[in-house]
């Protein structure tokens, strides 16, 4: 089968790897950039997609290059611990893994290069699904949340930019508490996230730093203002940390909420952020992209590459999980990123009480692990 993939992000690369297992498949990946790359800071890989990486024989590398994360801790500006979400509440010895985006990306790309039935066509920005070069048995659209290709197909959909984005950077840092993702909060206007992200190419421990910022301030903020606020949140940390943050270069990321009623149309399927972009607050986007690739390959294999049968099945298998996390992301993001002080106050009170209740700790950890498919039923994704 001739397969074309638009976009060489996590969704595109992992799909290519899974589909290349069938020697009768020939896969072409298009990307607008002239080299395959992933720009950004660290990401948190959840138990939900570790299984997907394990099946690609990348699990050991993930552990080697990433840092295990056991707890997520939120501390507010009054030094109060607002939340503590522990993977241990989901299952004993359960953990997430913080890893630099480009490290995971390189692992996927290096494996793609070893496959004879995967080819890359770079510097090829696809702007139309009618493009003659896309003629194929299966077309996979994986070009991220800001895809201009979505609106070219007649599927009910929506795309909305979040009012807040974030500045991000990565620093080498030996001293911050290991195995824990910290979020420092002031209402919902200020949030500083610090995610241990494994080791860099020189074996040095790295931390990804995220600073929440309204999109309207992206061209007007000054580094001095931000450092002053960061310094306040990190007042109990070593001064060297502030020094590193003041020397770092920051980039800005915007994110969008993407909804599609279904993901397939004829022989075209949308996966990854192109199908279901969401705020990174829940740390699920890359995980969802990896899961998409696994399930797409599963339905194709089970239907003996019958695209007409497989793609609607793909939509029905993926929908509950994607819709659950889309809703959760829409509900939770304003509690962390919004101009409404009230949301932050509500979050601090509600979560401070909830963290003492085993029932709510179980639900929070289950959501975090990335496997939940319903608000009511206790049903998880099945591999
Ligand atoms: C600040 C931040 C923190 C995050 N943290 C986490 C986290 O902790 N955990 C997590 O799971 N997720 C996280 N995410 C989300 C995660 O990064 C995304 O969900 C994931 O990268 C989506 O992968 P993708 O392959 O679908 O799309 P992308 O990674 O966006 O890849 C799309 C590819 O398509 C190419 N492309 C775009 N348009 C075209 C075109 N017209 N023609 C050809 N090529 C094109 C691009 O060059 C790119 O290579 C975070 C996101 C942000 C912004």
Q: How many helices (H) and strands (E) does the chain have?
A: 11, 18
Q: Three-class SS of residue 112?
A: helix
First to last CA, the chain: 24
pLDDT tens figures, 19-31: 999 999 999 999 9
Q: How many whole angstroms separate alpha carbon 282 and alpha carbon 275? A: 17
Strand partners, 207: 171, 196
Q: Residue 58 pLDDT > 80, yes or no? A: yes
Number of the ligand 1 atom closest to the C-alpha atom of 168: 1
Q: Is 164 left (phi over 0), alpha (psi -120 to 50) or beta?
A: beta
Asked if residue 309 lies in contact with residue 303, where contact means CB atoms within 8 angstroms, the answer is yes
pLDDT tens figures, 146-158: 999 999 999 999 9
Go through the domains of the chain in sequence order and give each one's CATH number: 2-162+255-369 (3.50.50.60)
Q: Three-class SS of residue 343?
A: helix
Q: Residue 144 pLDDT > 80, yes or no? A: yes
Percent of the chain with pLDDT strictly greater than 90: 96
Q: How many whole angstroms separate alpha carbon 145 and alpha carbon 132? A: 24
Average pLDDT score over the chain: 96
pLDDT tens figures, 252-261: 999 999 999 9
Q: How far apart are the CA of 350 and the centre of ligand 1, in A?
A: 32
pLDDT tens figures, 198-226: 999 899 999 999 999 999 999 999 999 99
Q: How far apart are the CA of 273 and the centre of ligand 1, in A?
A: 6
Whose CA is closest to 361, among 26, 138, 88?
88
Q: Could you write out the DSSP letters of every residue in 26-89?
A: EEEEE-SSSS----S-EEEE-HHHHHHHHHTT-HHHHHHHSEEE-EEEEEETTS-EEEEEEGGG
Residue whose CA lies nearest to ligand 1 atom number 37 = 143
Give residue 278's pLDDT band: very low, low, confident or very high (50, 70, 90).
very high
| Choice from 5, 9, 131, 218 to test ligand 1 binding pocket (greatest atom count within 8 A of CB) | 9
Q: Could you write out the DSSP letters of every residue in 4-44?
A: EEE--SHHHHHHHHHHTTSTT-EEEEE-SSSS----S-EEE
Distances (CA, A) of 44 to 66, 180, 224, 299, 309: 9, 11, 28, 27, 34
For residue 38, the model assigns a pLDDT of: 72
Number of the ligand 1 atom closest to the C-alpha atom of 46: 11
**For residue 190, with 0-12 CB atoms within 10 Å meaning exposed, 13-18 middle and 19 or more buried, which class applies?**
buried
Strand partners, 92: none
Q: How many whole angstroms separate alpha carbon 298 and alpha carbon 371? A: 17
Give residue 39's pLDDT band: very low, low, confident or very high (50, 70, 90).
confident
Q: How many whole angstroms separate alpha carbon 271 and alpha carbon 290? A: 9
Whose CA is closest to 289, among 119, 101, 120, 134?
101
Number of the ligand 1 atom closest to the C-alpha atom of 292: 26
Question: What's the mean pLDDT in 61-80?
Answer: 97
Q: Is 328 left (phi over 0), alpha (psi -120 to 50) or beta?
A: alpha
* Length of the chain measured in residues: 383
Question: What's the mean pLDDT in 347-359?
Answer: 94
Strand partners, 307: none
Number of the ligand 1 atom closest to the C-alpha atom of 370: 11
Q: How many whole angstroms separate alpha carbon 149 and alpha carbon 375? A: 31
Q: Which helix (H) or strand (E) holds 318?
A: helix 307-336
Percent of the chain with pLDDT strictly greater than 70: 100
Residue whose CA lies nearest to ligand 1 atom number 2 = 280
> What residues flank ligand 1, with Cβ below 6 Å?
6-12, 30-33, 43-44, 125-127, 142-144, 166, 168, 210, 253, 255, 272-274, 280, 283-287, 289
Pairing of strands 251-253, 138-141: unpaired
Distances (CA, A) of 263 to 269, 318, 343: 6, 9, 33
Q: How far apart are the CA of 143 and the centre of ligand 1, in A?
A: 8
Asked if residue 276 lies in contact with residue 322, where contact means CB atoms within 8 angstroms, the answer is yes
For residue 60, the model assigns a pLDDT of: 98
């Amino acid at each position: 089968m001739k397969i074309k993939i638009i976009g060489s992000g996590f969704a595109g690369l992992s799909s290519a790897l899974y589909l290349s297992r069938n020697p009768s498949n020939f896969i072409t990946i298009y990307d607008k950039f002239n080299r395959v790359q992933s720009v950004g800071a660290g990401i948190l890989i959840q138990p939900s997609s570790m299984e997907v990486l394990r099946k690609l024989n990348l699990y050991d590398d993930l552990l080697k290059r990433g840092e295990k994360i056991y707890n997520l801790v939120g501390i507010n500006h009054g030094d109060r611990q607002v939340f503590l979400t522990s993977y241990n509440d989901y299952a004993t010895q359960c953990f997430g893994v913080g890893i630099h985006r480009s490290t995971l990306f390189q692992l996927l790309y290096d494996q793609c290069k070893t496959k004879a039935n995967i080819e890359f066509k770079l510097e090829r920005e696809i702007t139309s699904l009618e493009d003659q070069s896309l003629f194929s048995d299966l077309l996979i659209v994986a070009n991220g949340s800001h895809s201009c290709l979505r609106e070219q197909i007649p599927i009910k959909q929506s795309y909305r930019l979040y009012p807040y984005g974030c500045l991000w950077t990565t620093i080498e840092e030996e001293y911050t508490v290991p195995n824990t993702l910290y979020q420092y909060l002031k209402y919902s206007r200020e949030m500083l996230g610090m995610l241990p992200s494994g080791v860099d190419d020189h074996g040095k421990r790295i931390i990804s730093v995220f600073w929440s910022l309204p999109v309207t301030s992206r061209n007007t903020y000054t580094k001095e203002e931000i450092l002053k606020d960061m310094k306040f949140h990190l007042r109990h940390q070593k001064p060297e940390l502030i020094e590193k943050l003041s020397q770092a270069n920051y980039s800005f990321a915007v994110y969008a909420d993407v909804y599609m009623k279904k993901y397939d149309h004829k022989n075209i399927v949308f996966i990854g952020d192109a199908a279901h972009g969401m705020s990174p607050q829940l740390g699920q986007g890359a995980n969802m992209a990896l899961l998409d690739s696994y399930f797409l390959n599963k339905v194709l294999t089970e239907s003996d590459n019958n695209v007409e049968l497989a793609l609607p099945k793909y939509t029905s298998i993926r929908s509950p999980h994607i819709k659950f996390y889309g809703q959760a992301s829409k509900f939770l993001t304003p509690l962390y990123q919004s101009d409404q002080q009230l949301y932050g106050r509500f979050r601090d009170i509600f979560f401070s009480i909830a963290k003492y209740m085993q029932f709510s700790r179980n639900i929070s950890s289950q959501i975090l692990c990335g496997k939940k498919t319903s608000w009511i039923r206790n049903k998880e994704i099945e591999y």
